[in-house]
Amino acid sequence: MTRRNLFLFVLFLCCTLVVFSQQRRQSVGLVLSGGGARGLAHLGVLRALEEAQIPVDYICGTSMGAIVGGLYAAGYSVEQMEKIFYSEEFQLWLTGKVEDKYVYYYKKKEPSSKAFSLSFDVNDKFAFQIPTSIIDPIQMDYAFMEIFSGATYASKGDFDSLMIPFFCISSDIENNRESVRRSGELGLAIRASMTFPFVFSPIKLDGKIMFDGGMYNNFPSKHMLDIYHPDMIIGVKVAGNFPPPKEENIRSYLENMLTTDSDYDVYCDNGVLIEPDLTGIGVMEFNKMKECDRLGYEAARSKIGEIREFLVDSVNSEDLQKKRDAFNAKKPPSTVKMLSIQGVTGNQKYYISNSMKHGLNRDDYTTESMKKNYISLYTDPNIKDILPSLYYNDFFDAYVMNLDVRTKRYLNFGIGGHLSTNPTSFLYFGVDYNFLDRNAWLFTANTYIGRYYKSLYLGTRVDFSTSFPLYMELSATGNQWNYFRLHSGFFEYSRVNYLEQGDNNLQLRIGTAFDIKDRLYLSLGIGELNYNYFDNDYIISSDTSDLTRFDNYSVSIVREYNSMDDVQYPTKGNYQKLCIQYVGGIERFYPGSKLKSSYLTDINHRWLQFHAVNRTHIPIAKYYTLGVRADAFYSFQDLFSTYKASLLNAGAYQPTLETMTNYMPEYRASQYLGIGMENIFFVENSLGINLSARVGTYLYIPIRRIVAYSDNLPYYEDVFKKFYFIANTVLVLKTPLGPLSFTVSYHQRDNKSNNPWSVSLNFGYVIFNKRSVDK
């Protein structure tokens, strides 16, 4: 080769290298640290980088950084991510609360006065069960499945094939090391990366229990350099290492026990570290998300000049959106064709599968339509936890929903009661045991102990594995109420009771769900009502009471709708009830020492009665709700042999705590109407503390009052002879153990010797076991 030709060859080679070097774009890796609520600063950083047209070629993160980074890599824009994080649904992820619209009313246990419960695992030698997490991941797990499943399919499970190549860090506590997640189910990998111990329950990946990646590596810059070899690394640090433990500071002990110090070096010659000033914002202060977003944006904007010292390449918003649209076009619709259930027996699979299909046609299977059945199943007392995931089946051209289910067989002990300055206090003790086979079984027993109210309840319920909701309950109940004229201590005993009411019954219920909050059931019952009383108030200790016994049977059809947020002191929701009941039986009367008249001793009674209740809570302002209540009761019941027996067997209007716990003859009738309004002012916080002031007025209209002749024989008065007025003011502090209430009320009375005013301080719910005849 001549010297001239050699010179031309070298010149051509150099020009070629220059051209190719100019065509090669610099690559940028973005590293996002963990930091809880502080991690929302990453949104502001991404917005600032997009505005400055700075490309992101690779992205990785830990914990909250994994969530933000994973969303961005999965094709979500900053605006879409903001809608997710600032939504009410995200708040549910943080609290573990279940949206009320997804909870089946028919599956709820009968309410009780339980304040707290203790659980023991039958399958684990009755080991005492301590919750493994503060926040239930029920909402978050399903949301992650919905959000990330499309990206998993579009990338074929290879995170390098996402819109932006991505990896995240989780912690393998079995081997005491970090785990780099680069493939598999994207949602599960991110879920593992943000599972901080005791806050969220852990999940298994590749047979290993995984926790928050921040335990071992909160800033995976070194992995970014080793895996992708970017020309430049931009790191975002929103949290640092914890300070040394302090004496008598348990939180600092746990922080240092559960984590090791992370290295926040960018590990790149062309590296820039962005550190937003998040002083004063805690990792759990999610109410300051927008402030974190703003501070992240400002911190990133201040670093644009430094980034441009190393980076000359840009990407405009149109090209970025085209790239995003192209990737999102690969995501299939959220149609679900099949269910795959793991971790349970064959019979249990049958029950779970049918439960997930309630109210759905095969063509209606989508992640959104199946969510209510998923949550209903998750909240079943037989289910410990469910880890949902989706994988795409090309043959069916649709998703298969996989549910990894763990069941539980717990023995639960409940303790509670009602404490009052009035003589109506009682204690509550309950136990229940549940297990799941082809059907779901629940066995329950409870007792109420007190001078005012005593009760013993035994019951069982079975939820059938049918294609539509169907359950059956069998229960045996013994109730006794003692109404006293004199106030005295909790355990003190009085020889002469003003009035005693007993209700022993055996009931069979068969029910179904019309809708999420709507149930219908048929009830068959037999019972014995016992009334011990004195027909006049002038008695001495040697007198014996009259006794009326009513051996009865009943058939009832009841439709109930209930979306109220509390059984006794609601601030929102509605309640409607329509009960049609046929009652028959034999009245037997046994006179006491004060009776001088003659009465029939055995009388047959048969009647039909209707009871309708409507309670509506209308939100007027953020902290003000107007409650409206309407009651209608109409019974074709004939009168019993005595005045008090007729009243005790009649309907009772009970809109207040005092009418529920006291014998007030004015508010008992076989036919009545009632209407009332309640002004509810309330404030609440995320810790479950709810303070409300409730001012209510009610009008009670007996259609025909039951009155007595001079010899105490009952008769019906003419229609609409008298109305009664009730005013009620209650201050309520709801706590995790129950409500603390202070009540001042006025109940219009006929007898002037009865004080219409009452004042009481109460703690706990007033809830009674089942009665045989609806009132």
User: Does some domain include residue 14?
Assistant: no
Least confident window among 118-132, 177-191, 466-480, 485-499: 485-499
pLDDT for res 242: 57
Does a structural domain hold residue 8? no
Q: Please write the tens of the pLDDT for every residue from 427-458.
A: 999 999 999 999 999 999 999 999 999 999 99
- What was the pLDDT predicted at 590? 87
pLDDT tens readout for residues 320-345:
999 999 999 999 988 898 899 999 99
Question: Same domain, yes or no, for 381 and 465?
Answer: no
Single out the residue in 407, 433, 453 at which a domain terminates.
407
Decide: 50 and 320 in contact? Cβ < 8 Å.
yes
Residue 254 lies in a domain: yes
Hey, what are 659's tokens? 């009418």
Q: Are 369 and 360 in contact (CB under 8 A)?
A: yes
Between residues 365 and 189, the one the model is more confident about: 189
Instruction: Give yes or no: residues 317 and 417 share one domain.
Output: no
CATH number of domain containing 359: 3.10.20.310
Claim to verify: residue 270 and residue 203 sit in the same structural domain: yes
What's the average model confidence in pLDDT over 670-682?
A: 97
Residue 511 shares a structural domain with residue 541: yes
**Active centre residues (catalytic):** 63, 212
Q: What percent of the chain has pLDDT over 90?
A: 64
Per the structure, how many domains does the chain have?
A: 3
Read off the pLDDT of residues 585-619 as tens digits, 9 standing for 90 and up.
999 998 887 665 555 578 999 999 999 999 999 99
Residue 180 above 80 pLDDT? yes
What per-residue confidence (pLDDT) applies to 492? 44
Would 542 be classed as within a structural domain? yes
Q: pLDDT at position 173, please? A: 86
Examine the pLDDT at 731 and tell me if it is beyond 70. yes
Domain match, 616 and 646 both: yes
The CATH number of the domain holding residue 59 is 3.40.1090.10
Give the three-state DSSP class for 113. coil
Enter the tokens of residue 579. 């009960």
Kindly provide the residue ranges of all beta strands, DSSP E only, lying in 58-139, ordered along the sequence.
Answer: 58-62, 114-121, 127-128
What pLDDT, on the 0 to 100 scale, is given for residue 18?
A: 43
Asked whether residue 341 falls in the same domain as residue 469, the answer is no
Residue 498 has what pLDDT?
A: 67
Phi/psi for 379 (5° steps) reads -85, 0
Has residue 596 been placed in a domain? yes
pLDDT of 219 strictly over 80: yes
* Residue 6 forms part of a structural domain: no
Which of 328, 352, 378 terminates a domain? The answer is 328
Domain boundary among 391, 407, 423: 407
Domain range spanning residue 340?
A: 336-407
Residues 414 and 403 in one domain: no
| pLDDT level of residue 485 (50, 70, 90 thresholds) | very low
Q: Length of the chain in residues, anyone?
A: 775
Closest alpha carbon to 144 in 76, 206, 228, 213: 76
Task: State the Cα–Cα distance between residues 118 and 415, nearest whole angstrom.
Answer: 9
Same domain? For 376 and 500 the reply is no
Helix (H) or strand (E) holding 6: helix 3-23
pLDDT for position 583: 98
**Mind listing the pLDDT tens digit for each residue in 284-314?**
888 899 999 999 999 999 999 999 998 888 8
Write out pLDDT tens, residues 354-405: 999 887 877 778 888 888 889 989 988 899 999 999 999 888 888 999 999 9
Do 728 and 589 belong to one domain? yes
- What's the CATH code of the domain at 515? 2.40.160.50
Q: What is the overall mean pLDDT for the chain?
A: 88
Do 44 and 83 lie in a common domain? yes
Tell me, yes or no, if the pTM score tops 0.85.
no
On the question of pLDDT at 154 being above 70, the answer is yes
Which among 111, 768, 110 is positioned nearest to 501, based on CA atoms? 768
- Count of other CB atoms within 10 angstroms of residue 16: 10
**739 C-beta neighbours (distance < 10 Å), count:** 21
Q: Among 236-245, 569-578, 579-588, 722-731, whose mean pLDDT is lowest? A: 236-245
Confirm whether 128 is domain-assigned. Answer: no
516 and 445 in one domain? yes
429 lies in the same domain as 397 = no
State pLDDT tens for residues 19-69: 444 455 789 999 999 988 999 999 999 999 999 999 999 999 999 999 999
